[in-house]
């Protein structure tokens, strides 16, 4: 148990400091560690947890909390949350102190512009891996494509798309 | 060319909406009721919140923010609670996007820290994640209890597929600005628009425009030459392949790609500046 908690703490504190450009960039690494390295769950379970977290309100990466709870109960939840939100928050606190001194320096813009394409590649990788984890039947592929299309082309609220996907899934057509 | 047009059309409403929000709230034209809030001042308005108020404010924010917290955060922090002026919000968001960690998570820490020090920061971040944590675990319990039921299984398969679709949409929005063809088309379009209207300008650069959590890559779009978007696209592709196909550890991928990207940005920008 202690070993599991230590592993959770080590993994998520590392991810906390690597998550530039919002939470979705670290999903593939999270999946790799949780599924392939630690064998805490299957790829499909990871996809299901991601879906649950998407359906809940709150900041982007509630899947982190859910993984901690799934792997080691309430203790796991606490350790994981602390590891995921602690280190980046400490960085934020420290940065608040030096921010005013550096905010107009050109290197800040350069670093930010340089991080953007890296972030884009990572988010694309996240999307591919989550699609692989979630799409089991032909209907699932259609739902994914439809939601992706609707979310890029229209301004429908994402919750409606999740609800529509669930209802279509409930019909059981094209889902093994 | 056709896909480029479709993509650009798909992305435009988001940017326009964002721009409208920024200009609407950063323009210091609102009349201020006496003693409450001065949008033109950069100093903090009226009474600073207590730790308890910070906790409650962010708890509310966490519970209402379905589908991304950023738009809700703006409304709660700037308009309802008036903890920050619109300008301060934009500036703080710029900082939070620059740092590791979720934007809104970082922002809660920064706001709490600013008003009540470490205690305030703790109150704000715990408030923000407490509600969603409880909800997500309740959902998890329901799922684990019922996952053998065939209807639940089907429902979750549909939900998961839809959630994956939302992530794909996000990836499209972040990657599209890096595609050179799209960029050139967009530039041409913008030039034509400028000639016609004279002063129509889009905000660019995450420093002055609050990009949504996912659109930090939109910063690359600011009047960049095609070579740079090409290089940016290559870097994005390298990251994608390394992570998705070769499953290279994230820390290694970033240790290589971030310096390469920074070097490329510096080189290309320096070359671009030369007459």
Task: Quote the pLDDT of residue B226.
Answer: 67
Tens digit of each residue's pLDDT (9 = 90 or more) over A63-104:
999 999 999 999 999 999 999 999 999 999 998 887 767 767
Q: Is residue A145 exposed (0-12), middle (13-18) or buried (19+ Cβ within 10 Å)? A: middle
In a mutational test of the A interface, the residue from B5, B130, B167, B212 whose CB has the highest number of chain A CBs within 10 Å is B167
Q: Residue B4: pLDDT above 60?
A: no
Asked if the Cβ–Cβ distance from A122 to B240 is below 8 Å, we say: yes
Better-scored residue on pLDDT, A12 or B89: A12
Q: Does A120 touch chain B (CB under 8 A)?
A: yes
**Taking CB atoms and an 8 Å cutoff, what residues of chain B touch A58?**
62-63, 65, 69, 128-129, 131-133, 135-136
The Cα–Cα gap between A160 and B162 comes to 10
**Taking CB atoms and an 8 Å cutoff, what residues of chain B touch A53?**
136
- Reading the block at residue A100, the tokens are 């005013």
Q: What is the mean pLDDT of residues B204-211?
A: 34
**Taking CB atoms and an 8 Å cutoff, what residues of chain A touch B223?**
none
The Cα–Cα gap between B9 and A113 comes to 23
- Reading the block at residue B158, the tokens are 């549909």
Nearest CA in chain B to A30: B250
The Cα–Cα gap between B82 and B32 comes to 12
The Cα–Cα gap between A8 and B256 comes to 25
Task: Quote the pLDDT of residue B190.
Answer: 61
Q: Does A148 touch chain B (CB under 8 A)?
A: yes
Average pLDDT score, chain B: 73
Asked if the Cβ–Cβ distance from A88 to B13 is below 8 Å, we say: no
Write the residue in B91, B118, B235 that is nearest to A121 by C-beta.
B235
Tens digit of each residue's pLDDT (9 = 90 or more) over B91-143:
788 778 778 888 889 999 999 998 999 999 999 999 999 999 999 999 999 98
Asked if the Cβ–Cβ distance from A32 to B164 is below 8 Å, we say: no
Q: Does A48 touch chain B (CB under 8 A)?
A: yes
- Reading the block at residue B52, the tokens are 């308890």
Better-scored residue on pLDDT, A24 or B68: A24
- List of long-range contacts for A32-39, beta carbons under 8 Å, 24+ apart: A32/B247, A32/B249, A34/A67, A34/A71, A36/B247, A38/A7, A38/A11
Task: Quote the pLDDT of residue A20.
Answer: 82
Task: Quote the pLDDT of residue B198.
Answer: 41
Confidence of residue A108 (pLDDT cuts 50, 70, 90): confident
The SS3 assignment for B24 reads helix
How many other C-beta atoms are found inside a 10 Å radius of the C-beta of residue B150?
9
Instruction: Assess contact for B96 and B110: CB atoms under 8 A.
Output: yes
pTM, to two decimals:
0.73
Instruction: Assess contact for B274 and A126: CB atoms under 8 A.
Output: no
Q: Residue A116: pLDDT above 60?
A: yes
Instruction: Assess contact for B10 and B215: CB atoms under 8 A.
Output: no
What's the ipTM? Answer: 0.87
Q: Does A105 touch chain B (CB under 8 A)?
A: no
**Taking CB atoms and an 8 Å cutoff, what residues of chain B touch A92?**
96, 99, 101, 106, 109-110, 113
């Amino acid at each position: 148990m202690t070993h599991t908690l230590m592993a959770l703490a080590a993994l998520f504190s590392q991810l906390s400091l690597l998550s530039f450009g919002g939470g979705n960039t670290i999903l593939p690494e999270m999946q790799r560690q949780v599924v392939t390295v630690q064998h805490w769950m299957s790829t499909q379970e990871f996809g299901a947890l991601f879906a649950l977290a998407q359906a809940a309100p709150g900041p982007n990466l509630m899947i982190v909390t859910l993984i901690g709870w799934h792997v080691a109960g309430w203790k796991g939840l606490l350790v994981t949350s602390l590891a995921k939100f602690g280190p980046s928050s400490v960085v934020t606190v420290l940065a608040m102190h030096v921010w005013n001194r550096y905010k107009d320096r050109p290197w800040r813009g350069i670093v930010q512009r340089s991080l953007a394409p890296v972030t884009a590649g990572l988010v694309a990788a996240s999307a591919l891996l989550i699609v692989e984890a979630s799409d089991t039947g032909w209907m699932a592929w259609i739902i994914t494509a439809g939601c992706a299309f609707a979310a890029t082309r229209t301004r429908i609220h994402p919750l409606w798309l999740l609800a529509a996907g669930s209802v279509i899934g409930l019909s059981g057509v094209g889902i093994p | 060319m056709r896909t480029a047009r479709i993509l650009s059309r798909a992305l435009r409403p988001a940017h326009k909406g964002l721009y409208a929000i920024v200009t609407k709230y950063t323009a210091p034209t609102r009349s201020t009721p006496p003693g409450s809030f001065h949008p033109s001042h950069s100093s903090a308005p009226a009474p600073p919140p207590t730790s308890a108020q910070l906790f409650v404010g962010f708890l509310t924010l966490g519970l209402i923010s379905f589908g991304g917290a950023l738009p809700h955060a703006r409304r709660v922090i700037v308009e309802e609670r008036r903890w920050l002026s619109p300008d301060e919000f934009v500036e703080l968001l710029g900082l939070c996007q620059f740092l590791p960690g979720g934007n809104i998570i970082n922002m809660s820490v920064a706001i709490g820290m600013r008003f009540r020090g470490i205690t305030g920061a703790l109150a704000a971040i715990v408030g923000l994640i407490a509600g969603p944590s409880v909800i997500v675990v309740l959902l998890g319990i329901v799922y684990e209890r019922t996952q053998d039921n065939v209807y639940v299984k089907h429902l979750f398969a549909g939900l998961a597929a839809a959630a994956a679709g939302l992530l794909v949409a996000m990836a499209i929005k972040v990657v599209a600005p890096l595609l050179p063809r799209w960029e050139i088309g967009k530039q041409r379009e913008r030039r034509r628009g400028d000639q016609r209207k004279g002063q129509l300008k889009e905000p660019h650069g995450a420093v002055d425009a609050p990009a949504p959590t996912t659109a930090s890559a939109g910063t690359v779009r600011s009047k960049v030459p095609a070579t740079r978007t090409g290089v940016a696209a290559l870097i994005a592709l390298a990251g994608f392949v390394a992570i998705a196909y070769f499953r290279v550890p994230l820390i290694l991928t970033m240790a290589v790609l971030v310096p390469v990207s920074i070097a490329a940005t510096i080189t290309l920008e320096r070359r671009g500046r030369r007459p």
